[in-house]
Amino acid sequence: MAAKNTRKKKSVLVVGGGGREHALAWAFGKSSQVGEVYVAPGNAGTAATATNIPLGPADIEGLTKFARKEKVDLTVVGPEAPLAEGIVDRFLAAKLPIFGPTKRAAQIESSKIFAKELMWEAGVPTAPAEIFDDVEAARRYIDIGGAPCVVKADGLAAGKGVTVAMTEEEAYAAVEAMMVEKRFGDAGERILIEDYVSGEEASILALTDGERLAVMIPSQDHKRLKDGDAGPNTGGMGAYAPAPVIDGKTLKTVTETVLEPIISVLAEGGTPYRGCLYAGLIVDFEGPKVLEFNCRFGDPEAQAVLPLLRDDLFNVCEEAATGRLPVTRFEWRPGAAVTVVAASKGYPGEYEKGKVIKGLDQLEEKETLLVFHAGTAEQEGKIVTAGGRVLAVTALGPSVGDATKKAYGGMELVKFPGMQYRKDIGHKALARSGG
């Protein structure tokens, strides 16, 4: 008679309520080790397959109490704000397992100046830059250096603290907004002015236990609102993976010249980094350079990368959180994934909420066609819009071209008033392949 498996299923708490968090909850739900997935606060999509908890990411004390009460086996933090506020430090002090960097290590995203100085120390390829805490000195620097240049507020500014200034007037205006008008509060007290670097962007996500790294396949985000990379910057209107701009040789270069040196310098400085490290890159004729680091999974990159992952994500995150990363190389499904984001009218500015979303019943979850909710809620038995980025359709296929067709076929079934989405996600990969 076969022995009965009595191993207790584990529980995981995902902090956040966007598309990235739905993708994480979905991935953890597939794990053979996981019996319960909580999402705080979650959305209408996570409510269908997980348990939503009415706690926001900023409620660190409430989240700590919940994890302790429910004996949660692992908490995984989606957004950057609670990481920057020290949620990991609080959980560790309470002896609660959590995946993510400490407040000090999370400065790699919460402080552009910390990240740039770290890159200089580690010898990581990045654009030349100067640091300013005096507005007149910043203006003089623009007088001499001219444009184009990139002006960055030091701190977190809800994704709006970076201005790519193509003219000197735009650069002066950015400095004025950050340092004089205090448009971003304390985040703009100190700024960086960087040389402008042109090239093709890519995102690399790597999971680390503070010493070892497991690097994920490269992806490419589409930050601009409109086709042809036009319009204002957004949180991301779509993504695809793998991104051919980062081939195997280039990925090895990024690992050896960017990821490993950063992890090493942080560890040597007494700030070991555990969690997901996101490197935002630009590739020009000289090779890859770092534009920015993020201290968490990308959104919408996670929605494209995670469906291709064959490894058990929960196992990797749990072991990395305790300093025992079990893998250094991931296993991936063949082919590609393409994610298209649908947003509310007016996004990334002001937008209306409460619009009924139709067609979701025609997009039942399939292995190669997935819907990840972001800004959605349930209202009187109907799914309605509740955010700027509303949902994403992710499709898998043997190539970017095949996955793109499938993703847009799925998106055409979704309808809500004012819905907008880009029609050219993956266009750079298609241009490379001639598709």
pLDDT tens string 291-303: 999 999 999 999 9
**pLDDT (0 to 100) of residue 290:** 97
Name the nearest CA neighbour of 338 among 410, 420, 394.
394
What H or E segment, with its residue span, contains residue 157? none
Whether 30 and 95 share a structural domain: yes
At which of 154, 189, 224 does a domain end?
189
Read off the tokens for 353.
């909420």
Whether 141 and 89 share a structural domain: no
Dist. CA 97–CA 74, nearest whole Å: 5
What rounded mean pLDDT belongs to the chain? 95
Would residue 310 count as lying in a domain? Answer: no
Whether 85 and 138 share a structural domain: no
Q: Count of alpha carbons within 13 Å of 125, Cβ hemisphere only?
A: 16
Would residue 343 count as lying in a domain? Answer: no
Name the nearest CA neighbour of 243 among 354, 340, 152, 337.
337
Whether 98 and 140 share a structural domain: no
At which of 142, 169, 189 does a domain end?
189
Whether 71 and 21 share a structural domain: yes
pLDDT tens digits, 142-153: 999 999 999 999
Q: Where residue 157 sits, what CATH number does that domain have?
A: 3.30.1490.20
pLDDT tops 50 at residue 424: yes
Dist. CA 306–CA 428, nearest whole Å: 21
Computed over its alpha carbons, how large is the radius of gyration of the chain? 21
pLDDT tens digits, 371-392: 999 999 999 999 999 999 999 9
DSSP 257: I
Whether 97 and 138 share a structural domain: no
pLDDT tens digits, 165-207: 999 999 999 999 999 999 999 999 999 999 999 999 999 999 9
| 3 state SS of 264 | helix
- Tally of domains in the chain: 2
Would residue 183 count as lying in a domain? Answer: yes
Would residue 161 count as lying in a domain? Answer: yes
Q: Concatenated DSSP letters for 32-98?
A: TTEEEEEEEE--HHHHHHSEE-S--TT-HHHHHHHHHHTT-SEEEE-SHHHHHTTHHHHHHHTT--E
Dist. CA 120–CA 113, nearest whole Å: 11
pLDDT tops 60 at residue 21: yes
* CB-CB contact of 320 with 216 (8 Å): no
Would residue 434 count as lying in a domain? Answer: no
- Are β-strands 287-294 and 191-195 bridged in parallel, bridged antiparallel, or unpaired? unpaired
DSSP 315: H
Cis peptide before 261 (omega within 30 of 0): no
**pLDDT (0 to 100) of residue 435:** 57
Q: Where residue 76 sits, what CATH number does that domain have?
A: 3.40.50.20
Would residue 213 count as lying in a domain? Answer: no
Whether 91 and 51 share a structural domain: yes
CA angle 78, 82, 88 (to 5 degrees): 90
- The mean pLDDT of 359-373, rounded to a whole number, is 87
Would residue 26 count as lying in a domain? Answer: yes
**pLDDT (0 to 100) of residue 1:** 45
Domain of 140, in residue numbers: 134-189
pLDDT tens digits, 99-139: 999 999 999 999 999 999 999 999 999 999 999 999 999 99
At which of 102, 125, 151 does a domain end?
102
Would residue 185 count as lying in a domain? Answer: yes
Q: Would you tell me the crossing angle of helices 313-321 and 19-29 to the nearest 10 degrees?
A: 100
* CB-CB contact of 78 with 15 (8 Å): yes
Name the nearest CA neighbour of 306 among 21, 13, 10.
21
- The mean pLDDT of 329-350, rounded to a whole number, is 96
**pLDDT (0 to 100) of residue 434:** 64
Quick one: 6 exposed, middle or buried, by C-beta within 10 A (0-12, 13-18, 19+)?
exposed
* CB-CB contact of 31 with 93 (8 Å): no
**pLDDT (0 to 100) of residue 71:** 98
In percent, the amount of the chain with pLDDT more than 90 equals 92
**pLDDT (0 to 100) of residue 365:** 64
- Residues with Cβ within 8 Å of 120's Cβ and at least 6 positions away in sequence, in order, are 126
| 3 state SS of 329 | coil
- The mean pLDDT of 230-248, rounded to a whole number, is 95
Binned at pLDDT 50, 70 and 90, residue 6 comes out as low
pLDDT tops 50 at residue 213: yes
- Residues with Cβ within 8 Å of 243's Cβ and at least 6 positions away in sequence, in order, are 202, 203, 218, 219, 220, 429
**pLDDT (0 to 100) of residue 433:** 74
**pLDDT (0 to 100) of residue 60:** 98
Read off the tokens for 302.
């996670």
pLDDT tops 70 at residue 4: no
**pLDDT (0 to 100) of residue 206:** 98
Whether 19 and 90 share a structural domain: yes
